[in-house]
Amino acid sequence: MNISDGGRRRFEDNEHTLRIYPGTISEGTIYCPVPARKNTTAAEVIDTLINKLHLDKTKCYVLAEVKEFGGEEWILNPTDCPVQRMMLWPRMALENRLSGEDYRFLLREKNLDGSIHYGSLQSWLRVTEERRRMVERGFLPQPQQKDFDDLCSLPDLNEKTLLENLRNRFKHEKIYTYVGSILIVINPFKFLPIYNPKYVKMYDNHQLGKLEPHIYAVADVAYHAMLQRKKNQCIVISGESGSGKTQSTNFLIHHLTALSQKGFASGVEQIILGAGPVLEAFGNAKTAHNNNSSRFGKFIQVNYQETGTVLGAYVEKYLLEKSRLVYQEHNERNYHVFYYLLAGASEEERLAFHLKQPEEYHYLNQNCFSVEGEDLRHDFERLQLAMEMVGFLPKTRRQIFSLLSAILHLGNICYKKKTYRDDSIDICNPEVLPVVSELLEVKEEMLFEALVTRKTVTVGEKLILPYKLAEAVTVRNSMAKSLYSALFDWIVFRINHALLNSKDLERNTKTLSIGVLDIFGFEDYENNSFEQFCINFANERLQHYFNQHIFKLEQEEYRTEGISWHNIDYIDNTCCINLISKKPTGLLHLLDEESNFPQATNQTLLDKFKHQHEENSYIEFPAVMEPAFTIKHYAGKVKYGVKDFREKNTDHMRPDIVALLRSSKNAFISGMIGIDPVAVFRWAVLRAFFRAIVAFREAGKRHIQRKTGKK
């Protein structure tokens, strides 16, 4: 597929070829090519297949989509559009669709009871189940135990035997291992054929531990525990950066929606499918450890009726790494969406948004520009389609891309000191100002004043003071970071609006939910700053939760029930958490105090830490005069440099900048800044309600006038 200047016209109108694999329905046919457009429905594709393959028209057929990151066969509804779903596939899947069993469309026959006919699948499952039962009863020999699928079953449990067991299982591509009710996953960094319909059916309504460990088993147990106990469930995913947490989240969410819909792709599942690439584009970036690292944490809650049918979903984000927007470490990149936009925009969009090449932007040219194997133009198209699936109209998408361009141009503004005044500064490339002014739709004079001066109100008068050089750069970067953060919040809010089900708002509707927490992994880089401090503190709290529920509470329950057991010692990290967060002397509270003092410095902050906690065994201070401190976390020691701790802790736009953006003629920008998005949504609903009342009254008056006129 070639990219042309037609841009979105090609995206909308081009004809695509779908390869449909009929399997046993049409013997001798590997796949059947079917021409289709973006809006061609699954029902229309099936009609074409019936005529092409001369199939029995009295039978009912459905299309199924198989994806690598889920493995399940997602049955398309008759009104679903296969081309739209295909465009969300990765580029490699589109270019090489004959290799492997991933990313393809299948033709399936539907039974009279509504279930899907899988041919030999049922017999395969029956033989597997019968063999397992015969082994349990002793009629067949037990398989030779070379490894243990539950580490609790190890005869001698220590670090060496634990690691050897995990290594042996991994060599046989067994990436899942239990520790009681906990699932350990080792990232294979490749696709394994363990996510197909056989496994979906096999783990349906099975007790945890009865079958080989699998992430489907965790999802299934959570789903049925929710229905049986009528209690909400939560699945916590934790691990280091690059360990595969986001991929595991995808497996869980897709399987949870599949359990509800019995294989049919619901509206919620489709929106979640589109939300994934959108959040990934705006919230993921290349880091030194991972080419697609999530730089924010998220909690996805799937809501169900008491019957187990999906009602809706909700996404909450945590700690977006805003500093990445203005600065990236060696061999790292900015957020994906900037590179997608610059590579995939049409000529018309390039002119409208004043787009350049990545190396011409200060926020993008600090390190590398590309990642091996990526196709940025395809990724931009995939993002466009995903945004459309979530509900972003073409006008809204243009406003988002225009704002992204404004942020990039804002980063190109450079400052210089005026020669005749020591404290005064000027912008040394004023030609950038009109571009930023046009994209933000604010007055150029007001933009200039906000970037070089600050207004201070004293008793009875207003003072206009010039920024120093370093202050001006900080204000510029703070404006860019706040704009991007507000945009990300707005995107998450719109996704939640699309996922919202009207029944969620009904008071009498009893809902249940399963939450999946995909939080940052524990990080320890060569240079660790405020972001790593927050991320590692979040992981410290997760570890504490784990300790409380797995060790402390369980052993207390054993004690109350009078069970004899050997007391299990574990590392209690409560002291580390208190060091960071306990009032009034926790590091975070001391940081808040120091951030409020105008004369504070990095050294005064470090001195305050040292004065309060020099005797604490969980914190260390370098012997040399280094502006850093080391915390003894549950996962090991991490050294943090205090540079920019105070600035990042109080990172917000000055009132001058907020007033400037609120004055924008663009309602999208002015409404996004400084306003609670929930309040905006509620006001929009209230306004629509009153408009509807007025419209009904006016219609009633006209109706009465027509009646009286006729009389």
Phi (first) and psi of residue 558, to 5 degrees: -60, -40
Catalytic, 521? Answer yes
Identify the active-site residue in 294, 536, 539, 573: 294
Structure tokens at 448: 């200039």
Q: In this predicted structure, what is the pLDDT of residue 167?
A: 92
Give the C-alpha separation, 342 to 355, whole Å: 7
Q: In this predicted structure, what is the pLDDT of residue 8?
A: 46
pLDDT mean over 377-397: 92
Phi (first) and psi of residue 687, to 5 degrees: -65, -40
Q: Report the domain count for the chain.
A: 2
Cα dist. 333→326, 368, 427, 482, 601 in Å? 10, 6, 27, 19, 29
Per-residue pLDDT tens digits for 642-698: 988 988 888 777 788 888 998 999 988 988 885 555 555 555 566 666 777 777 888
User: Among residues 709, 564, 537, 551, which one has the least CA distance to residue 634?
Assistant: 537
Q: In this predicted structure, what is the pLDDT of residue 141?
A: 66
Instruction: Yes or no: say if 65 and 74 are a contact pair by the CB < 8 Å rule.
Output: yes
Q: In this predicted structure, what is the pLDDT of residue 676?
A: 56
**Cβ neighbours of residue 594 under 8 Å, at least 6 residues apart?**
600, 604, 605, 608, 646
Note whether residue 423 is domain-resident. Answer: no
Phi (first) and psi of residue 76, to 5 degrees: -80, 140
Which residue range forms the structural domain that includes residue 82? Answer: 16-137
- Binding residues for ATP, as ranges, are 239-246
Q: Look at residue 266 and tell me whether its pLDDT is greater than 70.
A: no
pLDDT mean over 485-492: 93
Single out the residue in 137, 167, 197 at which a domain terminates: 137
SS3 assignment, position 289:
coil
Q: In this predicted structure, what is the pLDDT of residue 239?
A: 81
Identify the active-site residue in 26, 41, 238, 293: 293
192 against 139, higher pLDDT: 192
Structure tokens at 493: 């809010």
Q: In this predicted structure, what is the pLDDT of residue 114?
A: 63
Per-residue pLDDT tens digits for 353-370: 999 999 999 999 987 777
Note whether residue 359 is domain-resident. Answer: no
Catalytic, 241? Answer yes
Identify the active-site residue in 209, 242, 391, 671: 242
Q: Look at residue 106 and tell me whether its pLDDT is greater than 80.
A: yes
User: Among residues 468, 285, 476, 438, which one has the least CA distance to residue 362?
Assistant: 476
Single out the residue in 583, 609, 643 at which a domain terminates: 643
Catalytic, 460? Answer no
Residue identified by tokens 């969620």 is 504
- H or E, element range at 361: none
Residues paired with residue 335 on neighbouring β-strands, in sequence order: 285
Parallel, antiparallel, or unpaired: how do β-strands 511-518 and 233-237 relate?
A: parallel
Residue identified by tokens 């600050």 is 454
User: Among residues 475, 403, 411, which one has the least CA distance to residue 439?
Assistant: 403
* CATH code, 631: 1.20.58.530
| DSSP, res 701 | H
pLDDT mean over 71-79: 78
SS3 assignment, position 209:
coil
pLDDT mean over 311-334: 89
Instruction: Yes or no: say if 232 and 226 are a contact pair by the CB < 8 Å rule.
Output: yes
Q: Look at residue 347 and tell me whether its pLDDT is greater than 90.
A: yes
Note whether residue 222 is domain-resident. Answer: no
Q: In this predicted structure, what is the pLDDT of residue 92?
A: 72
Identify the active-site residue in 7, 411, 521, 641: 521
| DSSP, res 367 | S
Q: In this predicted structure, what is the pLDDT of residue 677?
A: 52
Ranges 18-22, 32-36, 157-161: which has the least confidence? 157-161
Catalytic, 557? Answer no
Catalytic, 523? Answer yes
pLDDT mean over 517-540: 88
Note whether residue 50 is domain-resident. Answer: yes
The distance between the two most distant Cα atoms of the chain, rounded to a whole number of Å, is 99
Instruction: Yes or no: say if 164 and 146 are a contact pair by the CB < 8 Å rule.
Output: no
- Counting residues of the chain whose pLDDT is more than 90, the rounded percentage is 38
Give the C-alpha separation, 302 to 299, whole Å: 10
Q: In this predicted structure, what is the pLDDT of residue 97?
A: 53
* CATH code, 54: 3.10.20.90
User: Among residues 581, 598, 601, 597, which one has the least CA distance to residue 589?
Assistant: 581
Single out the residue in 109, 137, 165 at which a domain terminates: 137
Cα dist. 630→605, 620, 639, 647 in Å? 14, 5, 4, 20
261 against 316, higher pLDDT: 316
Give the C-alpha separation, 459 to 643, whole Å: 34
Give the C-alpha separation, 637 to 634, whole Å: 8
Note whether residue 130 is domain-resident. Answer: yes
Q: In this predicted structure, what is the pLDDT of residue 477?
A: 92
Q: Rounded to 5, what percent of the chain is helix, strand, coil?
A: 50, 15, 35
Residues paired with residue 677 on neighbouring β-strands, in sequence order: none
Q: In this predicted structure, what is the pLDDT of residue 686?
A: 63
Q: In this predicted structure, what is the pLDDT of residue 282?
A: 96
Identify the active-site residue in 248, 290, 346, 539: 290
Instruction: Yes or no: say if 332 and 288 are a contact pair by the CB < 8 Å rule.
Output: yes
Give the C-alpha separation, 706 to 600, whole Å: 75
Note whether residue 360 is domain-resident. Answer: no
Structure tokens at 432: 């950038």
Note whether residue 375 is domain-resident. Answer: no
- Binding residues, as ranges, are 239-246
Q: Look at residue 5 and tell me whether its pLDDT is greater than 50.
A: no
Q: In this predicted structure, what is the pLDDT of residue 110?
A: 82
Q: Look at residue 125 and tell me whether its pLDDT is greater than 50.
A: yes
Per-residue pLDDT tens digits for 222-252: 999 999 999 999 998 888 877 888 889 888 8
pLDDT mean over 440-458: 89
Catalytic, 293? Answer yes
Q: In this predicted structure, what is the pLDDT of residue 255?
A: 84
Categorize the per-residue pLDDT at 135 as very low, low, confident or very high, splitting at 50, 70 and 90: low
Q: Look at residue 262 and tell me whether its pLDDT is greater than 60.
A: no
Identify the active-site residue in 246, 412, 496, 528: 246
Structure tokens at 612: 């309060």
Ranges 101-115, 293-307, 329-343: which has the least confidence? 101-115
Q: Mind spelling out the 3-state secondary structure of 270-288?
A: HHHHHHHHHHHHHHEECCC
Is pTM beyond 0.95? Reply is: no
What average pLDDT is seen over the chain?
Answer: 84
Q: In this predicted structure, what is the pLDDT of residue 3?
A: 40
Note whether residue 399 is domain-resident. Answer: no
Q: Look at residue 617 and tell me whether its pLDDT is greater than 90.
A: yes
262 against 164, higher pLDDT: 164
Q: Look at residue 10 and tell me whether its pLDDT is greater than 60.
A: no
Q: Give the number of C-alpha atoms closer than 13 A to the C-alpha of residue 404, restricted to the C-beta side.
A: 25
